[in-house]
Structure 1
Amino acid sequence: MEELYPGVSRARLPGGLSVLFEPRPDRPLALGVWLRLGSRDDPAEQAGLAHFLEHMLFKGTARRSALQISQAIDGLGGDINAATSKEYTFFHVEVLPQHLETALDVLADLVRRPLLAPEEIEREKGVVLSEIQAAHDMPQERVFELFMEKLWRDDHPLGRPIAGEEETVRALSQTQLRQRFECLRPEALFLTAAGGVAPAELLRVAGEKLGDLEACPAELHREPPRPNASGLYLEEKETQQVHLCLGLPALARGDERRWALEVLSTVLGGGMSSRLFTRIREQLGLAYAVSSGSSYFQDGGLLLIYLGTEPGKARQAAEVSREELQRLEREPISPEELRLAKQKMTGNMLLGLESSHARMMRLGGSEIYRQHLPLEQVIARLEAVSSEQVQALARQLLGEQPLTLAAVGPAAGLKTLEGLLDA
């Protein structure tokens, strides 16, 4: 057993699987089984495979029907769910601590013994196709998909929707699904636990349920990101508003400059006191929803502004957003803005980690990217960011990467955006 930092430890089961845990007495127990497989690992002709597998694992195992999976956790008053991202998939349960064995038995059942029955595959395709169609029908979802497609190129895995496309999902076969599960390598699978858990008991149960996984030589080879050149991408849709995403490629998860990027994004559009919110919504009345954020991947990332506005205000709102980005490049943020941004981020982190589920998620994300930092060090790194570092980063990002703008909405609003990035 190894202590990663005070309160958080890692142990390895005999077969090599890692178990990470953060005991917190008198708290609910949150468990997660994580796979280092996400949508970017899907072959182009099987786009949506990881997401579809996430769905299928709940459709029955060799020991439980779909209903029995739900009843096993519902009957304990607990919750069970799953999610797929670009770079990982995870299955999680939250229960009272005394139900550790049942909860872990269900999770192990899902990832080790899925039936993947042909009739269930065809039935679930209808569910996932409806999910894809719903995303296309929601302009807030569609504009983000369009932005990702164009920022990373739609032929790169990071540019594809996590759920895939209708034609690739329709074509998925039982054989393709089974191939993904032929060999679950211990290094590609791990367990996280937080809350009311005794380490010895956790490791005993985990050893029973997951300890006999065998090593496998199969490896994943991820294609490095290839950002597109600057571009304006417009998609007409009959909506009341124009939905905009303006952004650019940014930093990978392991880049130490990401602490400065977090401060930059918070100052720019992180909440109701941010520059974008204050200027675009409060002062100019150009939009109700406006925000910015950063996303990080193993080997790349992005900085993004989102807003929804009336068609007649779309160009001005986009221009003001670009001006605020350029302002960060031109002048350092004030000491007071810097202090408030750090205070906000620290408060958000501490409040966000009150639940066992959030702690379990933090453990999982840290293990995926192999970057374990105690909360005190995260706060210290944020506190160490200077306004000069934020300005230098803004200059680097805006100087190296041109902006990409994606917009979805009525033709009248889209037409006003033409030539915007050339101005």
Structure 2
Amino acid sequence: MYNLFKLNNGLRVVVESIEYVNSVSVGLWVENGSRNENASNNGISHFIEHMLFKGTPDRTAKQIAEAIEDVGGQINAFTGKEVTCFYIKALDTHLELSLDILSDMLFNSNFSEDEIEKEKGVVVEEINMSEDSPEDVLMELHTKAIWDRDSISLPILGTMDTVKSFSKKVIVDYVDSYYIPENSVISISGKFDMKNIEELLEKYFGKWHTKNKNITKYSSPQLLNNHYFRKKDIEQLHVSLGIPGVEIGNDDTYALILLSNILGGGASSLLFQKIREELGVCYSIYSYISAFKNTGIVSVYAGLNPSNAESAIDAIKQEVSKFAKSGIDNERLYKAKEQLKGSYILGLESTSSRMFSNGKSVMFLNKINTPKDVLRKIDEINMSRVNSVMEKTFKNGIINSAYVGKEKQMVEKLFKGNIISLDK
């Protein structure tokens, strides 16, 4: 049973009651991430995520963790380009405790200057760790190639310089501006009493009001034709190739996921079978979609030996072109729809995954996308829709790319030397 309502302060709430489970998952979603930032405060959203776990007047950082872990629960958070989410999963008897902890973290965090300075060191190490991961470096580089100077290209972690610059005043002012009920969603999924849930939420979040409101609005960035290279002293060449996608909430999303799965979604996909199995020129290859507000991209990732770069990338380009021209037949469409439905339903077999699905849906689309709705949309994908989506996406071919490895020369000739090297 679902319900979607607003508290008097404008905070959106989505709840899903599941009687046959004995757990409950609660998520506090804020429409704020690195895309809300600029060059001088880049990384502040992720830094604030860390700081909300560092203690309040009533609880130390250790006591926040213990309050949930001592009753067998889990507490965590993540920051993305457009959202920050704090979440707890616990036994259904601890719903009120979960709401108490999340509200205490949100409204009463100390933002101690000593803790801020200590956490700068932690986040700098996180940035260093990301720098040691070629896949992470590649993802950030490709994001830059796709959107360049638009804020969506800013790294979620920020930079060492921006992180070291954060002060208590800058952090508190930012929280006051963006962490507001109008930008936020509470998502609850699991076993609880639907009769008093609204009263319970009013108790913990009903007094949430701010004066300096900054309602989140995002640009509509153009997809660019950049090809970037970053030198790393590693054995493999890591490759990310970009194809136009669709924005979040677009009716074409499910058809695009279906097509991406056929192209590079697993061991039976076209790219895996051709590039790895038949040609043997790479170990890892797959495609996936990234959908944001007002923009989206399909990415093809490959990890390969630099000596195979020319033949592998040329083969990928040919396979994408052939896929766009030939399309798929009805039998392939049916199988792909069944695959998509299966993976979707299997992915909803926990209260936390359902909480994430509902929270994201209300956050970005302002409505509940129930499993029944999603399955219906998948079933409604027909050949006409597939061909229309193919025309808008894969038929444009690879329009941008990024490479991380030792030698730029290996990939230069594929784009007529138009590969730009970006230093750190």
Length-normalised TM-score, structure 2: 0.93
1:239, distance to aligned residue in structure 2 (A): 1.0
Say if 2:370 is the partner of 1:374: yes
CA gap of 1:303–1:107, structure 2 versus 1, over 3 A, is same
Q: CA–CA distance in 1 between the matches of 2:260 and 2:298?
A: 8
Contact 1:403–1:421 under 8 Å retained in 2: no
Partner of 2:15: 21
Partner of 1:176: 170
Partner of 2:316: 321
Partner of 2:180: 185
Say if 2:409 is the partner of 1:397: no
1:110-160 Cα offsets, whole Å, 9 max, x none, are 11111111111111111111111111111011111100011110x221111
CA gap of 1:60–1:76, structure 2 versus 1, over 3 A, is same
CA gap of 1:293–1:196, structure 2 versus 1, over 3 A, is same
Tell me, what secondary structure is at the counterpart of 1:203?
A: helix
Partner of 2:420: none
Q: CA–CA distance in 2 between the matches of 1:296 and 1:64?
A: 38
Say if 2:35 is the partner of 1:37: no
Say if 2:333 is the partner of 1:342: no
1:311, distance to aligned residue in structure 2 (A): 1.2
Tell me, what secondary structure is at the counterpart of 1:307?
A: strand
Q: CA–CA distance in 1 between the matches of 2:69 and 2:221?
A: 44
Aligned runs of 1:91-130 on 2, under 5 Å? 91-130=86-125
1:56, distance to aligned residue in structure 2 (A): 0.6
1:398, distance to aligned residue in structure 2 (A): 4.8
1:374, distance to aligned residue in structure 2 (A): 2.1
1:401, distance to aligned residue in structure 2 (A): 7.4
Contact 1:15–1:215 under 8 Å retained in 2: no
Tell me, what secondary structure is at the counterpart of 1:182?
A: helix
Q: CA–CA distance in 1 between the matches of 2:85 and 2:107?
A: 14
Length-normalised TM-score, structure 1: 0.93
| Counterpart code for 1:415 | Q
Q: CA–CA distance in 2 between the matches of 1:258 and 1:417?
A: 31
Q: CA–CA distance in 2 between the matches of 1:335 and 1:286?
A: 31
Contact 1:49–1:164 under 8 Å retained in 2: yes
% identity of equivalent residues: 31
Match of 1:157 among 145, 151, 157: 151
CA gap of 1:301–1:211, structure 2 versus 1, over 3 A, is same
1:215, distance to aligned residue in structure 2 (A): 6.0
1:20-74 Cα offsets, whole Å, 9 max, x none, are 1101114211000111111101132100010100011001112211000011011
Q: CA–CA distance in 2 between the matches of 1:167 and 1:113?
A: 28
Partner of 1:3: none
Contact 2:362–2:368 under 8 Å retained in 1: yes
Match of 2:256 among 257, 261, 277: 261
Contact 2:218–2:293 under 8 Å retained in 1: no
Contact 2:290–2:296 under 8 Å retained in 1: yes
1:397, distance to aligned residue in structure 2 (A): 2.6
Contact 2:241–2:398 under 8 Å retained in 1: no
Q: CA–CA distance in 2 between the matches of 1:113 and 1:146?
A: 37
Match of 1:52 among 47, 50, 53: 47
| Counterpart code for 2:392 | Q
1:402, distance to aligned residue in structure 2 (A): 5.5
Say if 2:143 is the partner of 1:148: yes
Q: CA–CA distance in 2 between the matches of 1:208 and 1:87?
A: 28
Partner of 1:206: 201
Match of 1:408 among 404, 411, 424: 404
Structure 2: unaligned runs, 5 residues or longer:
418-424
Contact 1:38–1:84 under 8 Å retained in 2: yes
Match of 1:166 among 156, 160, 166: 160
